[in-house]
Amino acid sequence: MKTPISLWMDDPAIQSQARPRLESNLSVDVAIIGAGFTGLWTAYYLKKHNPSLTIAIVEAEYAGFGASGRNGGWLIGGLMGEDQLLSTLPEDERRNKRQLLFSIPDEVAAVLHQEQIDCHYRKGGVIYAAARYSEQEVRLRQWLDELYHTGCTEADFAWLAPEALSDKVNVSQGLGAIYSPHCATIQPARLVQGLAEAVERLGVTIYELSPVTDWQPGRLTTSAGQVEAQWIVPAVEGYATSLSTLGRYQIPVQSMIVATAPIGEAIWQSIGLHQGEAFADNSRMVTYAQRTKDNRLVFGTRGGYRFGSRLRHDFQLSAQEVAERRTLLEALFPVLKNIELTHGWGGNLGMARAFQPHMLCDEENGIALAGGYGGEGVGASNLAGRTLAELITGQTTQLTEQPWVIKGSASRHLRRWEPEPLRWLGYRLILAALSREEVVLSNLETSQWRRRLAVVLSDQLEKLMD
Ligand SMILES: Cc1cc2nc3c(=O)[nH]c(=O)nc-3n(C[C@H](O)[C@H](O)[C@H](O)COP(=O)(O)OP(=O)(O)OC[C@H]3O[C@@H](n4cnc5c(N)ncnc54)[C@H](O)[C@@H]3O)c2cc1C
pLDDT in tens, 294-351: 999 999 998 889 999 999 999 999 999 999 999 999 999 999 999 999 999 999 999 9
By three-state DSSP, how is residue 128 classified?
Answer: strand
Q: Out of 7, 21, 37, 297, give the residue to mutate to test ligand 1, the one with the largest number of ligand atoms within 8 Å of its CB.
A: 37
Mode of pairing for the β-strands spanning 250-260 and 297-302: antiparallel
CA angle centred on 420, ends 360 and 368, rounded to 5°: 10
Atom of ligand 1 nearest to the CA of 254: 53
Q: Which residue has the higher pLDDT, 92 or 391?
A: 391
- On the CB side of 332, CA atoms within 13 Å amount to 25
Strands 205-207 and 176-180: unpaired
Direct distance between the N- and C-terminal alpha carbons of the chain, in angstroms, rounded to an integer? 39
User: What one-character DSSP code corresponds to residue 223?
Assistant: S
The answer on pLDDT for 208 being more than 90 is yes
User: What per-residue confidence (pLDDT) applies to 262?
Assistant: 98
Helix (H) or strand (E) holding 461: helix 448-465
Q: What percent of the chain has pLDDT over 90?
A: 88
Distance 238 CA to ligand 1 centre (A): 6
pLDDT band, residue 3 (cuts 50/70/90): low
- Between the CA of 237 and the centroid of ligand 1 the distance, in Å, is 6
How far away, in angstroms, is 450 Cα from ligand 1 center?
38
Closest Cα to atom 25, ligand 1: which residue?
Answer: 36
Give the residue-averaged pLDDT of 360-369.
98
Look at residue 430 and tell me whether its pLDDT is greater than 90.
Answer: no
Q: What mean pLDDT do residues 400-422 have?
A: 96
pLDDT per residue as tens digits for the range 224-250: 999 999 999 999 999 999 998 999 999
The residue whose CA has the least distance to atom 53 of ligand 1 is 347
The per-residue pLDDT for 109 is 98
pLDDT of 236 reads: 98
* Percent of all residues in the chain with a pLDDT value above 70, rounded to a whole number: 99
DSSP 442: H
- The protein residue whose alpha carbon is closest to atom 12 in ligand 1 is 376
Query: Residue 442 Cα, ligand 1 centroid: separation in angstroms?
Result: 31
CA distances from 235 to 37, 349, 410 (A): 8, 12, 14
SS3 298: strand
Residue ranges around ligand 1 (CB below 6 Å): 33-39, 58-61, 65-68, 70-74, 76, 211-212, 235-239, 242-243, 255, 257, 288, 300, 346-347, 349, 371, 373, 375-379, 381
What digits encode the pLDDT tens for the residues 75-111? Answer: 999 999 999 999 889 989 999 999 999 999 999 999 9
Q: Quick one: which atom of ligand 1 is closest to the CA of 222?
A: 42
If you average pLDDT over residues 32-58, what whole number do you get?
Answer: 98
Mean pLDDT, the chain, as a whole number? 95
Annotation: CATH topology of 1-125+181-417: FAD/NAD(P)-binding domain (3.50.50)
The burial of 220, by beta-carbon neighbours within 10 Å (0-12 exposed, 13-18 middle, 19 or more buried), is given as: buried
Quickly state the pLDDT bin for 150 (edges 50, 70, 90).
Answer: confident
d(CA 303, CA 338): 23
Nearest-5° Cα angle at 75, 400 to 241: 70
Burial of 154 (0-12, 13-18, 19+ CB in 10 A): exposed
Q: What is the mean pLDDT of residues 57-71?
A: 97
